Amino acid sequence: MRIPPRFSLLGGAVALLSALLAGPATAAPAAVTAVGHICYSGLPAQAHETLDLIEAGGPYPFPQDGTVFRNREGILPSRTTGYYHEFTVVTPGSETRGARRVVTGDAVREDYYTADHYASFDLVDHGC
């Protein structure tokens, strides 16, 4: 299983800023405006556990964890295939993987949380 590389914080910030500013001059891409923000402290405890596992390189509870996320919904900024990877956020009481995920980008701390199986995403702010 390939774990996405994490670049320097400055490189990640530059890459993310470039993505937000790129696109047609007439309007911002819908994908960029659809991403919200969430404080790290506002995530459920299980999301903290998932982020800790990602930092440690596993082991992960599900075989799908760490696989390429293709962004078919077009909500996240457009990137090449292989840029994003998905990880399960365990849902207490669920008999399946549930709907919660963390999707990571290749940039440092470019982590997105979804509680509704990719219908919406929040960029995790690790500073609050």
Which residue among the candidates 37, 73, 85, 86 is catalytic per the annotation? 86
Domain ranges for the chain, please list them. Answer: 9-125
Contact 102, 89 (CB under 8 A): yes
Across the range 113-117, mean pLDDT stands at 95
The CATH number of 9-125 is 3.10.450.30
Among residues 49, 73, 95, 117, which one is catalytic? 117
Based on the residue annotation, tell me whether 126 is a catalytic residue of this protein.
no
Active site residue 49: no
The tens digit of pLDDT for each residue in 34-58 reads: 699 999 999 999 999 999 999 999 9
pLDDT, tens digit (0-9, with 9 covering 90-100), for 49-102: 999 999 999 999 999 999 999 999 999 999 999 999 999 999 998 889 999 999
- Angular region, 84: left φ>0, alpha ψ -120 to 50, beta rest: beta
Residue 71: name the closest of 82, 63, 61 by CA: 82
Render pLDDT for 3-15 as a digit per residue (tens, 0 to 9): 544 433 444 444 4
Q: What is the pLDDT of residue 108?
A: 87
